[in-house]
Amino acid sequence: MRYHAPHIITEGAIQYPLGTLNGREIQYDFEKILIYLDAKGKLLFGKKFKIHREDREILYKLCLYFIQDKARCTQMGIDINKGLLLSGPVGCGKTSLMKLMKHIVPHQRPYEVVPCRNIVFGFNHIGYKTIEDFGNSQFFCFDDLGVEPIGRYFGKDCNVIGEIMLSRHELFINHKRKTHATTNLNAAELEERYGNRVRSRMRELFNLVAFDKGSKDKRM
């Protein structure tokens, strides 16, 4: 992927303008961003991918966050300095959207989307170094937060993702490093899973952006 200017993204032989350049500022156009996201989604996930009309509101919030439109984000109660916790029912498209959204801002530092259960499997093999690795200064989106198994290393149980969240919070406070995540769980379920201390850190780490509870399963 190449881009000639931050507002024009080139995929193969096709150029996608996401807006217009006004001096050094990009005036983004939401409809144009959706055209690009639909095309990029098909490249990443196959021809069946599509942008669903009922997701426009959530996409609008995500777009405002990623293009760092501070004024509009503030109106919507989104802090552009915090990460995103994208929540919603199984199959509503959270993971795909988090894999997709970073492509509209190729000039920003990308984050890696990592399934929480894979992190726990890694911990079970190599132990506490896993927590260090994911608590480091890289940018991550932790996928499927809260449904991973408890970690177990040399007979000792560990709430691996809970420990990583504490490290990520420290990183956020000291170095402004953002963390993103997706989850099927609500706030009460997250607190039950990780405890009050981690849940309160999550409030500081994340903006909560939630799909409607009735969002359909797009994998059907």
Does any domain span residue 157?
Answer: yes
Does any domain span residue 63?
Answer: no
CATH of the domain at 163: 3.40.50.300
Contact 16, 6 (CB under 8 A): no
* CA–CA dist 12, 114 (Å, integer): 27
1 has pLDDT over 90: no
Average pLDDT over residues 70-84: 96
Does any domain span residue 73?
Answer: no
Our count of domains for the chain comes to 1
Helices 187-205/160-175 angle, 10° precision: 20
Predicted confidence band of residue 92 (pLDDT cuts 50, 70, 90): confident
Does any domain span residue 173?
Answer: yes
pLDDT in tens, 5-46: 778 899 989 999 999 988 888 899 999 999 999 999 999 999
Sign of the alpha-carbon dihedral angle for 187, 97, 149, 132? negative
Predicted confidence band of residue 149 (pLDDT cuts 50, 70, 90): very high
* CA–CA dist 11, 27 (Å, integer): 21
Contact 114, 140 (CB under 8 A): yes
- What is the C-alpha end-to-end distance of the chain, expressed in Å? 31
Q: 14 has which bridge partners?
A: 11
Query: E-assigned strands of 7-70?
Result: 8-11, 14-17, 19-22, 25-28
How is residue 177 written in tokens? Answer: 């490093």
Average pLDDT over residues 158-182: 96
pLDDT in tens, 172-201: 999 999 999 999 999 899 999 999 999 999
Q: Is this prediction's pTM over 0.85?
A: yes
**Which residues constitute the domain of residue 188?**
80-210
Does any domain span residue 108?
Answer: yes
